[in-house]
A and B are shown apart, each in its own frame.
Chain A
């Protein structure tokens, strides 16, 4: 299921504005990769290029290559829709479809690919995905109720269930816990640790402890000043990054001596 991603010489633009400059990195399969860095340094921007969600914004474009198992996602004959089916995404703010029930939300992505999924298959998939997202016990009696009636943490786990129901190769998470309380946050961190057995996971977080707890490798992005492009300063095993980073900027940021 999980696949490796190789990013090479990636420049990311919003129209003429160079937001992220010259990123190269390898993202290992079946591992959690965390991206940290100050606000505005381009973490979200970079993450969104990994499933071509970047292109949704008018004027946004990239230079360079993002290769999944050797296939460039930005190749001429690659359909962004197909990319997004393989690389799922969980957003900062929980965004279940408000007009859909919990069950329909989980199935939303599946129905795009497989319109004629049988009732029993659908029910099985809903249960499996919700169990995987640690939400089943809480919602199993109200699957037909609207997804927007859940708490924020439950909604976020519903979004995770929705993302994994389509069985992507890679799961991208942009600050998935920033709107959540500590207990929901821990639930999602446990979930991430569990999910990495099957998926390649990339997570953006502002929470150093979270990065230290859940990730195998950590990338530190930084920005020289407003209007300047963000850059990948350093990337290494999480243990190394948090104990003995090789760049002074990384150490300053991690120890809170930033800016």
Chain B
């Protein structure tokens, strides 16, 4: 089994565009007719459902942002009668008021199909034993992959996260072949496995993992693949759009195919809202095409990434998104270049440093300056200033390769970087104080 729905996943670009156009017209009308808040947004923009005839008209539509979802909390974006809703999920709400997403049975089915595609792309079929170690509950991770695994027909282990020794016990006893959880939990399971003196491909028989819901690096991927003896696949999604499975990785492990029969992806300039050409870095915006309960049209994800449509060795034709490289809220413009703290963090992790850092941006004589303070451990230090300076220069070079501009690196002892409520204050932009 190579594809879950080959007629969709390998359709021609023309077919995909035709589906998208047809569905978009209906989806916009559905939202306009049933969501007063969205009708207001369209009216303010001066656009009517009749103006939307194909995906070429998409740019005429207003954006929906997290702010709108908060304003309309809880029922403001519900587009069907409450009696049609069979499920809700919710974001954690760590940054302000939570978002509650509603699902009809149709919405749940389509979402689960997307997750089923991800499982099949990771080599899964009905003979597999799928261990779902994402959290179950309001979080979409557990429910999404659980439903997807059912659709594929795999034996589904609804483990939820935590109780790691029990997770490993089930892997041993039932011969789990596919693990679904967050990448950090996968890395932790690998560590515990090692501490228990167990070996991958001998004591446990996992072959693949589907990991998402938090940022992770290629470095982490290699570590997880080694410690669990698997191929690790990335999966992307967000509660507002449905949950995991909006995009998924294939055997090529280079970017995630977006389920374009259900979602249109755009990249915009986060400052101006202008749609950017394919291959350009910008904010990812999703339009749902098949949603009954919670239609999201041009929803701004705040994730910064790049879209690329290219022939993929897996045979799928869906456009691919790169792993998000940061959040638009965090974006700094330094010497005209977009810089994300997460890019710097990625370099630090790749170079073997701890992610304890502070970025300071300032303006001296009309030039932007970028200073990065990085806390070091005993392994990084030396008895000579010269050695430490060499390390600083190496790190500066790696950061320049990543972000395209130079930074001054300062390696500092542990404790030098102030922490507020446990988390280090990552970015200080002094230019804002001047302007």
A binds B: no
Interface residues of B (CB under 8 A from A): none
